[in-house]
């Protein structure tokens, strides 16, 4: 074989390798792990924002208590809901564990509801609504609720994309062949009014 033929074969092999690499990269072989990482990142942000809210609750309760100690039932409900959230043990497989995910959502929803009821009570106390510490907590809580709404939306979209990949071709083929441990992820279920962040406007 002369030099020209060798160069031709080498060039042909190189072209084949390049095209094969491009085909593999573009055919979705990496979609399952890529989308899985997106889901995990989105979930971490959900947890971060819920934790931020839980951290605000003790100061909020103490501030309200200083002006409205008689609202014991509402304050107790918030404290108990926050305690339940803090005590919830999240298993490593929570994103694929339907029962654990539902418990997590129910506990967070209970805290959301308790905080909403507390905000209604606050309207009865003008002095409390003008307290500087309370106003600072207002700003933090309002911002956190908005971030929770955004984080949940991003998680929902990431899970939708991932689950769709696992259930459609060629994603389900790649998952069966290369990622047999990949499982459909759990997602939040919408509640009435869940499309908007809870209203926490204390300033009126």
Residue boundaries of the structural domains of the chain? 31-178
Q: How far apart are CA 29 and CA 33, in angstroms?
A: 9
Give CA torsion, residues 133, 136, 137, 143, to 10 deg.
180
Tokens of 84: 């339940």
45 band by pLDDT with thresholds 50, 70 and 90: very high
pLDDT at 27: 63
pLDDT at 29: 87
Place of tokens 């809580």: 141
Is the pLDDT at 24 greater than 60, yes or no?
no
Is the pLDDT at 197 greater than 60, yes or no?
no
Is the pLDDT at 201 greater than 70, yes or no?
no
Domain 31-178 class, CATH top level: mainly alpha
CA-to-CA separations, 156 to 1, 27, 36, 119, in angstroms, rounded: 60, 25, 13, 28
pLDDT at 138: 87
Condensed to tens digits (0 to 9), the pLDDT of residues 152-185 reads: 999 999 999 999 999 999 899 989 999 999 999 9
Place of tokens 């990496």: 30
Q: How many helices (H) and strands (E) does the chain have?
A: 7, 0
In terms of pLDDT, which residue wins out, 191 or 23? 191
Condensed to tens digits (0 to 9), the pLDDT of residues 78-137 reads: 999 999 999 999 999 999 999 999 999 999 999 999 999 999 999 999 999 899 999 999
């Amino acid at each position: 074989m002369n030099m020209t033929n060798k160069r031709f074969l080498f060039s042909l092999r190189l072209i084949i390798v390049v095209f094969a690499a491009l085909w593999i990269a573009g055919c979705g072989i990496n979609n399952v792990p890529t989308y899985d990482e997106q889901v995990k990142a989105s979930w971490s942000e959900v947890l971060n924002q819920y934790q931020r809210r839980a951290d605000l609750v003790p100061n909020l309760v103490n501030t309200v208590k200083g002006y409205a100690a008689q609202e014991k039932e509402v304050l107790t409900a918030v404290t108990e809901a926050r305690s339940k959230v803090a005590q919830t043990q999240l298993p490593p497989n929570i994103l694929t564990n339907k029962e654990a995910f539902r418990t997590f959502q129910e506990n967070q929803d209970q805290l959301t509801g308790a905080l909403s009821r507390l905000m209604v009570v606050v309207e009865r106390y003008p002095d409390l609504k003008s307290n500087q510490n309370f106003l600072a907590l207002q700003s933090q809580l309002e911002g956190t609720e908005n971030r929770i709404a955004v984080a949940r939306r991003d998680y929902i979209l990431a899970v939708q994309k991932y689950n769709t990949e696992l259930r459609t071709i060629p994603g389900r083929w790649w998952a069966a062949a290369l990622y047999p441990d990949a499982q459909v992820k759990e997602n939040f279920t919408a509640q009435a009014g869940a499309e908007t962040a809870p209203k926490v406007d204390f300033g009126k």
